[in-house]
């Protein structure tokens, strides 16, 4: 179990685990209250990215803002996927739905897992995600649901990149909802409410 993480097991044996993936500079605790808000009965797994950019934790290296180190991204995606399989074994949770909730850098590694290691996740809620890489082949996402929430005024995530992610996920067969917000890179409280409604009707 080679990631710093925090695991809060469902008290009522609810068959959902939310995998909480922070943005640059966050840690495994950042999205716990969001997870409780989105799915109060689910188990929560907060994970800390292992890559350091100065003092900031990230899930993979980047060469500059929005320009990713693709070799590192591939490596980190496989590493995180193996860790999630270990967690499923360790806690005996193979029968759960595994739902990624990611913001910014965390959303991007979750998108990379959907494209490269689709069996690891059941669905995903991605806030401010972009197309992280071009997969060598289109994954089979016919049983996956994905919620994307993007900001019209986001200075970091280009519209075209979020749209390409949406199109790729749809081409792979995923059931995709893409909400555009009058917002920048920061997420509005109203987006969390929409995400909660989406989650209740898609899982
Ligand atoms: C990334 O590096 O994943 C994106 O540029 C978003 C960010 O974390 O700033």
Number of domains into which the chain is organized: 1
Question: Residue 171's pLDDT is what?
Answer: 98
Predicted pLDDT at 47: 98
41 is catalytic: no
39/20 Cα distance (integer angstroms):
12
Closest CA to 67 of 132, 150, 136: 132
The pLDDT score that the predictor gives to residue 169 is 98
Beta bridge mates, 118: none
The one catalytic residue in 112, 144, 149, 154 is 154
Q: What are phi and psi of 55, to 5 degrees?
A: -90, -10
- Domain that residue 140 falls in: 5-202
Provide the ipTM: 0.93
CA distance 182 to 64: 26
**154 included as an active-site residue:** yes
pLDDT tens-digit profile, the chain (203 residues): 699 999 999 989 789 999 999 999 999 999 999 999 999 999 999 999 999 999 999 999 999 988 999 999 999 999 999 999 999 999 999 999 999 999 999 999 999 999 999 999 999 999 999 999 999 999 999 999 999 999 999 999 999 999 999 999 999 999 999 999 999 999 999 999 999 999 999 98
Q: Known catalytic residue: 159?
A: no
Adjacent-strand bridge partners of 130: none
96 lines ligand 1 (CB under 6 A): no
> What pLDDT shows up at residue 13?
79
List the CATH number of the domain containing 78.
Answer: 3.40.50.1820
């Amino acid at each position: 179990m080679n990631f710093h993480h925090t695991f809060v097991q469902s008290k009522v044996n609810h068959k959902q685990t939310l995998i909480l993936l922070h943005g640059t500079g966050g840690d495994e605790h950042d999205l716990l209250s969001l997870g409780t808000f989105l799915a109060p009965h689910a188990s929560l797994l907060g994970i800390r990215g292992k890559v350091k950019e100065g003092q900031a934790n990230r899930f993979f290296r980047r060469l500059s803002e929005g320009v990713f180190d693709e070799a590192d991204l591939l490596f980190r995606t496989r590493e995180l996927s193996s860790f999630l399989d270990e967690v499923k074994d360790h806690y005996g949770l193979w029968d759960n739905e595994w739902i990624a909730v990611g913001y910014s850098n965390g959303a991007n590694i979750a998108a990379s897992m959907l494209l490269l290691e689709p069996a690891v996740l059941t669905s995903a809620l991605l806030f401010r995600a972009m197309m992280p890489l071009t997969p060598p082949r289109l994954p089979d996402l016919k049983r996956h649901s994905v919620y994307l929430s993007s900001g019209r005024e986001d200075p970091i995530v280009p519209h075209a990149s979020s749209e390409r992610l949406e199109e790729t996920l749809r081409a792979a067969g995923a059931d995709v909802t893409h909400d555009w917000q009058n917002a920048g890179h920061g997420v509005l409280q109203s987006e969390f409410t929409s995400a909660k409604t989406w989650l209740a009707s898609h899982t």
